[in-house]
Amino acid sequence: MHKRKVRAVILGAGPAGLTAAYELLQQSEVQPLVVEKNPFVGGLCLTARAGDNLADIGGHRFFTKFSKVHDWWLQFLPLDAPNTTDTFITQNRLSRIYYLRRFFDYPVALNLRTFHGLGLKRMLNIIASYLRAKLHPIKPEKSAEDFLINTFGKVLYRTFFKDYTEKLWGISCREISAEWGRERIRGIHLREIVLSVLKAFRPKIKDTFLYPKYGPAQLWQKVADKVLKQGGEFTFNAEVVRLNTSGDKIISAVIRMADGSEQTIEGDYFISSLPVKDLITMLPNVPQNIRQIAAGLQYRNFRSAVVLLNKMLKTHILPDTWLYIQESDVKIGRIQVYNNWSADLLADRTKVLLALEYFCGDNDNLWQMSDEKFTAMAIAEAEKISLIDDKDVIEAYSFKLEKAYPAYFGSYLQFEQIKNYTDSVKNLYLIGRNGMHKYINMDHAVLSGMAVAENIAHNLQDKENIWNIDNSKYLD
Ligand SMILES: Cc1cc2nc3c(=O)[nH]c(=O)nc-3n(C[C@H](O)[C@H](O)[C@H](O)COP(=O)(O)OP(=O)(O)OC[C@H]3O[C@@H](n4cnc5c(N)ncnc54)[C@H](O)[C@@H]3O)c2cc1C
């Protein structure tokens, strides 16, 4: 296959980088070369092996309001294709909140099911404080706490949001920017409350989502296969450590291979999905204030105990795809029930495969502790909240995702300065979740990869369209 003359070096083989590579091949004459520090593609969308089973670390539902992205996914894996394992399946989403050892609807609804779970006194308090918040909202709305109180009222916020949000971010909701809540949390409206009370205990309408039969990496491997087939290139086990510049352009990337040797890769365009905090340390001559802001960007890590069981405690298996754990006497943030994502993740479908999920910082004991201690602690916590009995545990594995969540605190409020600086490097484009330091899902990572390919194909200098890819409004 003939090599194209102009080269784009794509840093990172996650969803954003893979999309950029694929779209450059479709839309332009530019040759993509993807550089990835891992030996595999997919980035945060990891399908890991847990004994004989597969575990989707994080639980990745393929859900988007953009038909462009939906159709793009389906060209790599068809939907409900018979007689093949290469297919998306359609899955129902049920993700309830677990609180007071009971289950509550998510998104939170002030309906009779919630009423039944919380009791009359607490429910009346919730309604009164909700109305108070609507009549007298906190102004200006600065923190996530302000946003959540204005949206749900103080009592509902304390009941269903405070503990989970603080587990996720590791700091008080008062210290998190209101922007996070506005982007990620669905509100409730008086009209919906009235309707749901009138409809009493009507069954909850389930959302559906697409899911590759063997977990999210199946889709991203398909994309990578097509990129290779169409002449794109990959270098794995290659950590980008430095970028060399000339004037206002990057001319090459220095990569460190697994054996410690370094190689220099030249290119015409550099598209980065690396955490922007790391990227800034790789560039020469960055002004001191930009270095400082980048150094102050913060993230949350993610640790998951994947546990194979004979059965759960309340029923053999819960119907949920995942549960938000609002109980304040444990540190678990969420529980995935993999059987309800795709039964094909399990070697033996009569068993139950769970992920007990935690959010932590680099220095937290949770992040530092050995795999054995971590899985034992997670199992003990799930037992404490009456979801499993450790006698039913067959095996357990620990998985870690570093920089899983870009945080909207720390130096984030000054992020605009980093954006302006990196935009001033003419042939550098930032894409993706940690690349742009945006709390986005796969669909927006895909959109950012598409946008950069379009810009390069049409020789557009302005990068604003990449920064302005829409934000979704749901929690993951
Ligand atoms: C717990 C969790 C649950 C989620 N659930 C969902 C969900 O249900 N639905 C959904 O749509 N999205 C979900 N997401 C979000 C989704 O995972 C991300 O939006 C998506 O992976 C972002 O893709 P990306 O390409 O921007 O970044 P990444 O996936 O982070 O890819 C970046 C790549 O860069 C590589 N890299 C980093 N540094 C270097 C270096 N120095 N040199 C070379 N390579 C490097 C990394 O190894 C990685 O492969 C979830 C995320 C998490 C953490």
Which among 38, 40, 60 is the best mutation to test ligand 1's pocket, defined by most ligand atoms within 8 Å of the CB?
Answer: 60
Q: Is 216 touching ligand 1 by the criterion CB < 6 Å?
A: no
Residue 255 backbone dihedrals phi, psi, to 5 degrees:
-115, 145
Q: What angle do CA 289, 292, 296 make, to 5 degrees?
A: 140
Find residue 50's DSSP bridge partners: 53
Q: Give the per-residue pLDDT at 441.
A: 95
Contact 61, 91 (CB under 8 A): yes
Model pLDDT, residue 122: 86
46 lines ligand 1 (CB under 6 A): no
Contact of 443 with 69, CB cutoff 8 Å:
yes
> From residue 202, how far is each of 113, 160, 195 by CA, in Å?
9, 21, 11
- Residue 159 phi, psi dihedral angles, 5° rounding: -75, -50
Residues 6+ apart with CB under 8 A from 475: 184, 185, 324
User: How far, in Å, CA of 214 to CA of 342, rounded?
Assistant: 7
- Any atom of ligand 1 within 6 Å of the Cβ of 274: yes
At 299, the pLDDT band (50, 70, 90 cuts) reads: very high
Q: Where are the alpha helices (DSSP H) in 257-400?
A: 276-282, 288-295, 365-368, 371-384
What is the DSSP pairing of strand 233-235 with strand 30-35? parallel
Residues β-bridged to residue 93 = 207
Q: Is 441 in the pocket of ligand 1 (CB under 6 A)?
A: yes
Question: Tell me: the pLDDT tens digits for 212-253?
Answer: 999 999 999 999 999 999 999 999 999 999 999 999 999 999
What's the angle, vertex CA 427, arms to CA 425 and CA 428, rounded to 5? 65
Nearest 5°: phi and psi at 185?
-110, 130
Contact 286, 280 (CB under 8 A): yes
Place of tokens 């899911």: 211
Residues 6+ apart with CB under 8 A from 140: 146
Query: 108-136 as b/e, with b when 16 or more CB fall inside 10 Å?
Result: bbbbbbbbebbeeeebebbeebbeebeee
Q: Is the distance from the beta carbon of residue 445 to the nearest atom of ligand 1 less than 6 Å?
A: yes
Q: Is 9 in the pocket of ligand 1 (CB under 6 A)?
A: no
Our mutation pick for probing the ligand 1 site, out of 40, 66, 433, counting the most ligand atoms within 8 A of Cβ, is 433
- Supply the pLDDT for residue 474: 42
Q: How close is the Cα of 44 to the center of ligand 1, in Å?
A: 3
Tell me how far the alpha carbon of residue 465 lies from the centroid of ligand 1, in angstroms: 21
**Is the minimum distance from the CB of 331 to ligand 1 under 6 angstroms?**
no
In the reported structure, the alpha carbon of residue 123 is separated from the centroid of ligand 1 by a whole-number distance in angstroms of 39
Distance 132 CA to ligand 1 centre (A): 40
Instruction: Decide whether any atom of ligand 1 lies within 6 Å of the 10 Cβ.
Output: no
Q: Cα-flanking dihedrals φ and ψ of residue 48, to 5°?
A: -100, 155
For the Cβ of 58 lying below 6 angstroms from any atom of ligand 1, the answer is yes
Look at residue 124 in the predicted model and tell me its pLDDT.
Answer: 87
Give, in order, the Cα–Cα distances in Å from 297 to each of 63, 372, 413: 28, 31, 10
CA torsion 413→453→90→395, rounded to 10°? Answer: -60
Distance 15 CA to ligand 1 centre (A): 7
pLDDT at 114: 82
Closest atom of ligand 1 relative to the 240 alpha carbon: 42
Per the prediction, the chain carries an average pLDDT of: 92
- Is 36 close to ligand 1, i.e. is its CB under 6 Å away? yes
pLDDT band at 470 (very low <50, low <70, confident <90, very high): low
Tell me if 476 CB under 6 Å of ligand 1.
Answer: yes
Which of 19, 45, 210 has most ligand 1 atoms within 8 Å of its beta carbon, as the pocket-test mutant?
45
**Ligand 1 site, residue 293, Cβ cutoff 6 A:** no
Query: What does the alpha-carbon distance between residue 312 and residue 386 come to, in Å, rounded to a whole number?
Result: 9
CB atoms within 10 A of CB 98: 23
Spatial CA neighbour of 467 closest among 425, 392, 416: 416
CA of 254 to the centre of ligand 1 (A): 22
Measured CA to CA, the distance from residue 142 to residue 409 in angstroms comes to 12
The rounded percent of the chain whose pLDDT value lies above 70 is 93
User: What are the angstrom distances between the C-alpha of 229 and each of 19, 22, 33, 232?
Assistant: 15, 10, 13, 7
Q: Whose CA is nearest to atom 52 of ligand 1?
A: 58
Among residues 250, 290, 314, 298, the alpha carbon closest in space to that of 405 is found at 298
Mean pLDDT on 470-475 = 50
Section 259-270 average pLDDT: 98
Q: What is the mean pLDDT of residues 436-450?
A: 97
Identify the DSSP state of 139.
S
Cβ-based neighbour number of residue 13 at 10 Å: 26
Ligand 1 mean position, distance from CA 401 (Å): 9
CATH assignment of 91-95+299-407, among 3.10.20.30, 3.90.660.10, 3.40.50.720, 3.90.1110.10 = 3.90.660.10
Ligand 1 pocket check for 12: Cβ under 6 Å: yes
Candidates 377, 360, 403; CA nearest to 171 is 360
E strands in 213-371:
233-235, 238-246, 249-257, 262-266, 269-272, 297-309, 322-325, 334-337, 352-360
* CA–CA dist 228, 218 (Å, integer): 16
**Site of tokens 């550098």:** 428
CB 243 within 8 A of CB 252: yes
CB of 253 closer than 6 angstroms to any ligand 1 atom: no
Contacts of 357 (CB under 8 A, 6+ apart): 58, 302, 303, 304, 332, 333, 334, 335, 336
- Closest-CA residue, ligand 1 atom 26, reads 432
Looking at the DSSP assignment, which residues form a beta bridge with residue 445? none
The C-alpha atoms of residue 184 and residue 123 are separated, in whole angstroms, by 25
Q: Where are the domains of the chain?
A: 6-45+61-86+214-297+412-467, 91-95+299-407, 106-198
Instruction: State pLDDT tens for residues 148-207.
Output: 999 989 998 998 889 888 989 999 999 998 888 777 776 665 555 545 544 544 445 458
Which is the CATH superfamily of the domain at 6-45+61-86+214-297+412-467? FAD/NAD(P)-binding domain (3.50.50.60)
Distance 189 CA to ligand 1 centre (A): 33
Q: Whose CA is nearest to atom 2 of ligand 1?
A: 58
* Residue 459 backbone phi and psi in degrees, to 5: 55, 40
Mean pLDDT of 286-292: 98
User: Closest ligand 1 atom to the C-alpha of 241?
Assistant: 41
What spatial distance separates the first Cα and last Cα of the chain, rounded to whole Å? 41
**Residue from 242, 441, 469 whose mutation best tests the ligand 1 pocket (most atoms within 8 A of CB):** 441
Which is the closest atom of ligand 1 to the Cα of 15? 25
Mean pLDDT of 453-469: 95
